[in-house]
Amino acid sequence: MLKAVIIDSSAVARGLLQTVLQDGSYDVVGQAHTCASAAVLLLKHNPQLICIARDVLEADVKGAEEMRRNYPKSLMFMVSSEFDAATVQKAHAMGINGFIVKPFNADTVLKTIRNTVIAMVNRQRKALADAQAAQNPPAAPSAGDEA
């Protein structure tokens, strides 16, 4: 079961997202309203998923960047009711892996997380295969191999 931490200034939004995640078989190990208060939860639980609200992210960019540095294997999702191209681009540059739209639609939220996890696993497998191929390049056929 993947562990998740939810960071949102709205207690109502945290509660709703927690319900969606728990119903989808995720283990919500903590909730916080700021990056600073989330730091303790992240250290204690080392979650695979971090859901952070856009307002919290924008209020503490350095805290969010530190999270990304300290937990590079965690998938980070920005939670917001609106996404414009500039925000999405900036979020990707900060290391955000996916986007969860408010108000929450349980099926959409769970599908977004699932697809992001699958994409990450596929990227890791491809990187591993590429690294192995680079270490063991195929032997060049010799002149006697052709028939």
pLDDT in tens, 82-112: 889 998 999 999 999 999 999 999 999 999 9
pLDDT at residue 143 in the model: 61
Instruction: Give, in order, the Cα–Cα distances in Å from 27 to each of 21, 50, 70, 87, 95.
Output: 7, 12, 21, 28, 23
Q: Which amino acid is at 100?
A: I
Which residue, among 116, 115, 76, has the nearest Cα to 94 in the 3D structure? 76
- 21/18 Cα distance (integer angstroms): 5
pLDDT at residue 141 in the model: 66
Three-state secondary structure call for residue 75 = strand
Instruction: Give, in order, the Cα–Cα distances in Å from 122 to each of 3, 20, 56, 61, 125.
Output: 20, 25, 30, 29, 5
- 121/23 Cα distance (integer angstroms): 23
Phi, psi (degrees; rounded to nearest 5) at 33: -110, -5
Tell me the pTM.
0.86
- Ranges of residues in the chain whose predicted pLDDT is under 70: 139-147
